[in-house]
Amino acid sequence: CRHIPCPSGRIPFLGHALMLLRGNVWDTFRELSREHGNFFRMHVLGRVYIVMADPAYARHVLQTKAKNYRKDPGTYKVFDCLLGTGIVTSEGERWHRLRRELAPTFKLEILEEVASAALEITRNLFQTLDEAAASGTA
């Protein structure tokens, strides 16, 4: 995979780990994809990770040709306490069963309701923060 673009600044063993720890990791990925394109590799703690920042690439790996790509159990083992054994970490028949069960959750109408509720909560939070700042209690 040496032909795949890779950011400079790699430290022995740590690789790009320190780069991921500075600030917001999503901003870091956004910056790296601007510099290296929508498909690049990173080295973290002795492992190579391929980063895809294009929905078409993600669809290819996660849906269209999912059988060609295996999830590395070692990578997900680190996140067991957070992710459990759900759709993110599952493969094969278990993944298909979970996907079928979760499909109704991702209908447009439901997502619109969730987005609307999140927006309302965010507006309320901003109003509360503005009031606290104005009164000097923040």
**For each successive 10 residues of the chain (138 residues), what is the average pLDDT?**
89 90 86 93 90 89 83 70 75 86 84 88 91 85
Query: Cβ distance 116 to 125 under 8 Å?
Result: no
- pTM value is 0.56
pLDDT at 103: 86
**For position 79, what pLDDT does the model report?**
64
pLDDT for residue 56: 92
H helices within 1-138, ranges in order? Answer: 17-21, 25-36, 55-59, 73-77, 80-83, 92-102, 108-135
pLDDT of amino acid 105: 81
